[in-house]
Amino acid sequence: MTPPRLLPASLARRRGFTIAELLVTMVITAVLGMALVRTMVSSNRYINRLENGREARGTARAAVNMAAMELRMVSASTGVEAASATSLTLRVPFRLGLECSATVGASGVLVAAFLPADTSIAAVSMGYNGFGYLQSTGAYAFVGSVAMPTIGAISACTGAPASMTLAPGSVVLTMIGAAIPVAIDPATPVVIWRRVRYEFAPSMLLPGRTALWRRQLDNAGTITSSEELAAPLLPTSRFGFFINNQRTSSDTVPTALADLRGIELRLVGESARTARGTTRAEQARLVSAIFFLNRPD
């Protein structure tokens, strides 16, 4: 008979985990796991809110960047046709030239040499509403026209009385408009302008939200094209008005639009989505002042 084998003393004294030890270990692991999950969820929500906030700021900045260039080109005193807290109708110059000759009368004819331009600006059919000429007051007088400009003869500008030397690539245009009441001296600055309306209105891209729109109008006030510049914006987004030499903007449109010297864009951008764990979209407020050209004071 083989005698029983005895275990070493070190192994004989070794034992397993008790139920109490296992329970304590499981509780500690569960607490640490829950803390880790909560940290990850909290971090994810924070990052999500940061992204939505960045999106809201980007919406507001995009609206300012797109509108600022045209708004700055508006002539003070004569460039604003209509204004309200949510809508602006403007005469926006988009091509500059010099007058060669002009016929004064009920149906004025103006011939001008326009500086070289790229094809997108040269295509006056993209929103032509008329021409304007610089007055002695420093403001432009705008003349409406329903007839498109036609290419004129170079000699109309190089010959007397204008006697100009034109830059290579310049184009001579003949424009027929409403009355030109006064004689215009040769080399007077001339612009071609389009009628543009900026307004806050319901978004088409994001139904139920507000957007900033840019609309082109014909001389009858009919919309010919629309572009949704930025969305979503909060419905509280508004235009403010700089009147004469006031340093602060006003909520009220001046009685005389000729007193307008600039526009304040008060935009509140929103994120398109709601961050997890929140009940509303992120918002970002952006206020920007834009002053018109050719201020008389």
Which residues, 6+ apart, have CB-to-CB distance to 26 below 8 Å?
none
Question: For the chain, what are the domain ranges?
Answer: 59-88+195-291, 91-194
pLDDT at 69 over 60: yes
233-288 tens-digit pLDDT: 889 999 999 999 888 999 999 999 999 999 999 988 877 777 666 677 777 788 88
Both structure tokens of 167: 């830059």
- Which residue reads 């149906």 in tokens? 107
Mean pLDDT of the chain: 82
Tokens linked to 99? 């007058």
Average the pLDDT over 74-84 and give the result: 91
* Averaged pLDDT for residues 20-46: 74
* The predicted structure's pLDDT at residue 72: 87
On the question of pLDDT at 91 being above 80, the answer is yes
- Residue 238 identity: R
pLDDT value of residue 263: 93
